[in-house]
Amino acid sequence: MNLHVPPRDAEPARRKRPRRTPKGRQLDLVAAQDIGELLGNRPRRRDLLIEHLHLIQDRYGHLSAAHLAALAAEMKMAQTEVYEVATFYAHFDVVKEGADTPPAVTVRVCDSLSCAMAGAEKMLNRLPEILGPDVRVVRAPCMGACDRAPVVAVGHVQTMRATAELVSDAIHHDTHAHAAEPAKDLPSYQADGGYRLLKACLDGARNRDDVIAAVNDAGLRGLGGAGFPTGRKWSLVRAEPGPRLMAVNGDEGEPGTFKDRHYLGLDPHRFIEGMLLAAWVVEAREVFFYLRDEYPELRLMLLDEIAKAEAAGLSPHTKVHLRRGAGAYICGEESAMIESIEGKRGLPRHRPPYVAQVGLFGRPTLVQNVETLFWICDIVEKGASWFTSQGRNERKGFRSFSVSGRVKNPGVKLAPAGVTMQELIDEFSGGMLDGHKFKAYLPGGASGGILPASMADIPLDFGTLEKHGCFVGSHAVVVLSDQDDMKQVALNLMRFFEDESCGQCTPCRVGTEKAVRLMAQGPWDESLLNELASVMRDASICGLGQAAPNPLISVLKHFRDDLTKPLSAW
């Protein structure tokens, strides 16, 4: 064996010098001081990551690379964990190192269906010319004010029925979100008998089984979209071992939906009492109320009103946490919402297990929609017969419809369950706009499909539309007229799904993008579009990808005359 032995006078091999700093981005001491002072005495828990990102965004108007690194160090997290969360949510402006910071003022123009019908595209083209280069104008998805379209947000403050002039005035007056005055505050709510039921439950005058029975007898279902029987859900969660938790879904991001916003602003304590009652029934130690970020004035108001209820001794059995969304439609899906509450990206979970078994922080979790909780007190106090006495076409109860589009009086309409579309237009919405002829409608928002006016006599309720390839969902109704291009409508909705796909599964992520390209370039290749829709429905993880093709399939099925026409502009 020959070993090469270097001569003694040869120069020894140079040793690699040790690194002076660890690998990766180095901590900026000024940024670290900024973050430390900003967080103050707040806990550095992992589940508060999104709340802390909001603090930085609100203070500086963007999230710089230095501040993200400092936040990671402050919370003892990997920088990649912080970065992946910050870049997932639309309302966080992440600025890469060396890139220019965004302008001080950002104007977001809603381009979802109702706002597009009301002229959002023209405003998107005109605003940059009027506002100048120092203002950033960007597209944004539904802001939950479809009845007052078009909607434009300057920072966090929304301008309803916006014009370019109104938006310019809002910028120059430097408006900021402020706490909305509730239509019924705590004293007035209590003067009308509010919290009497909750006190009776806490004092032992009412038992949990009786409350569940009342809700079951009323046939109350989840009004956020799925329609699962509420009393049954309570029983399922109660059957799981404690400790149990509760999550409230206030992230109504479905285009056309704004009823939760309406009820929270109208009578917040009726909702709060219903929330506290549900927490008492399932013995939830903590409640996490996830509210969409597009409602800043409601968030500030609810922080005050929830604190007042707590100070009045009305929540000794649970602790309520108000959590702020960050602009992600997917977080309306319950498991994605739970991931977001835990401070993560809003990626839907695989099932089973279901959230009633393994939900928030691995504990059995009751998830309820805002409007469902809003009706609890009335049902229990007035009795199930009060609720079931309402209804049409063999349906029972009330339903709240968010109505927008080509009607004279859009808004939230409280109507009997089983009301038809024609009745909803004629009796509750003042009829069609002058010069518009009823052509079609969305019975359940962007994901619920599209039906022609010839099918306006179908009861709008759970289980009545599925055989037609549609569903009522969150009862978001958008009315279309003979002046609307159905291909353009379907394309608008598919673009929404493309933008809002979380990207976790290929059928949804790639399928929505591919569908947009095929629909925009025209003429439509029906065979290819049907094949693409089938793959998305069969293979997507959650309801977003499964329901995204519904508007497309509806147009192919019900509006064949529109297929031969060129794609029109709004």
At residue 503, does pLDDT exceed 80? yes
350 is a domain residue: yes
pLDDT score recorded for residue 288: 98
203 is a domain residue: yes
- Residue 134: helix, strand or coil by DSSP? coil
Do residues 405 and 541 share a domain?
no
Give the DSSP H/E element, type plus range, for residue 558. Answer: helix 550-558
At residue 10, does pLDDT exceed 60? no
User: How big is the chain by its Cα radius of gyration, in Å?
Assistant: 26
Give the DSSP H/E element, type plus range, for residue 303. Answer: helix 296-311
Do residues 463 and 489 share a domain?
no
4 is a domain residue: no
Do residues 222 and 342 share a domain?
yes
pLDDT score recorded for residue 6: 60
Residue 299 · residue 410 · CB < 8 Å: no
Mean per-residue pLDDT, 535-544:
93
Give the DSSP H/E element, type plus range, for residue 276. Answer: helix 268-282
Query: Domain ends where: 460, 482, 504?
Result: 482
The owner of tokens 């969902």 is 473
pLDDT in tens, 199-213: 999 999 999 999 999
Do residues 49 and 123 share a domain?
no
Query: Domain ends where: 482, 505, 530?
Result: 482
Cα–Cα distance, 442 to 551 (Å, whole number): 9
Residue 418 · residue 472 · CB < 8 Å: no
Mean per-residue pLDDT, 382-411:
95
Cα–Cα distance, 562 to 555 (Å, whole number): 8
Do residues 491 and 471 share a domain?
no
* 57-59-65-68 Cα dihedral, nearest 10 degrees: -70
pLDDT in tens, 249-258: 999 999 999 9
Do residues 359 and 438 share a domain?
no
At residue 8, does pLDDT exceed 90? no
Strands 411-416 vs 398-405: parallel, antiparallel or unpaired: antiparallel
- With cut-offs at 50, 70 and 90, classify the pLDDT of residue 32: very high
CATH number (domain holding residue 331): 3.40.50.11540
pLDDT in tens, 341-386: 999 999 999 989 999 999 999 999 999 999 999 999 999 999 999 9
pLDDT score recorded for residue 178: 84
CA 325 to chain centre: 8
pLDDT in tens, 118-148: 999 999 999 999 999 999 999 999 999 999 9
pLDDT score recorded for residue 107: 96
Q: Residue 452's beta-bridge partner residues?
A: 440
Whole-structure pTM value? 0.93
Mark 341-364 as b/e (b = at least 16 C-beta within 10 Å): bbbbbbbbbeeeeebbbbbbeebb
The owner of tokens 């430390």 is 36
CATH number (domain holding residue 131): 3.40.30.10
pLDDT score recorded for residue 570: 78
Mean per-residue pLDDT, 258-270:
96
Residues 6 or more apart whose Cβ sits within 8 Å of residue 465? 443, 444, 448, 449, 451, 458, 471, 472
Mark 9-44 as b/e (b = at least 16 C-beta within 10 Å): eeeeeeeeeeeeeeeeeebbeebbebbeebbeeeee
Cα–Cα distance, 453 to 480 (Å, whole number): 9
CATH number (domain holding residue 515): 1.20.1440.230
497 is a domain residue: yes
Cα–Cα distance, 530 to 549 (Å, whole number): 9
The phi and psi torsions of 345 (rounded to 5 degrees) equal -65, 145
Q: Is the dihedral of CA 167, 169, 173, 177 positive or negative?
A: negative
Do residues 82 and 111 share a domain?
no
pLDDT score recorded for residue 23: 74
Residue 518 · residue 485 · CB < 8 Å: no
pLDDT score recorded for residue 263: 97
Domains of the chain: total: 5
- Residue 233: helix, strand or coil by DSSP? helix
Do residues 294 and 208 share a domain?
yes
* Percentage of the chain modeled with pLDDT above 90: 88
pLDDT in tens, 287-341: 999 999 999 999 999 999 999 999 999 999 999 999 999 999 999 999 999 999 9
pLDDT in tens, 549-568: 999 999 999 999 999 888 88
* Percentage of the chain modeled with pLDDT above 70: 97
Query: Domain ends where: 382, 406, 436?
Result: 382
Q: Is the dihedral of CA 439, 443, 446, 450 positive or negative?
A: negative
Do residues 398 and 298 share a domain?
no
pLDDT score recorded for residue 509: 95
Average pLDDT over the chain reads 94
Cα–Cα distance, 53 to 93 (Å, whole number): 10
Do residues 494 and 562 share a domain?
yes
CATH number (domain holding residue 49): 1.10.10.1590
Mean per-residue pLDDT, 275-298:
97
Mean per-residue pLDDT, 228-246:
96
Do residues 247 and 369 share a domain?
yes
Which range of residues forms the domain containing residue 63? 31-95
Residues 6 or more apart whose Cβ sits within 8 Å of residue 291? 250, 251, 298, 299, 302, 322, 323, 324, 325
Do residues 339 and 190 share a domain?
yes
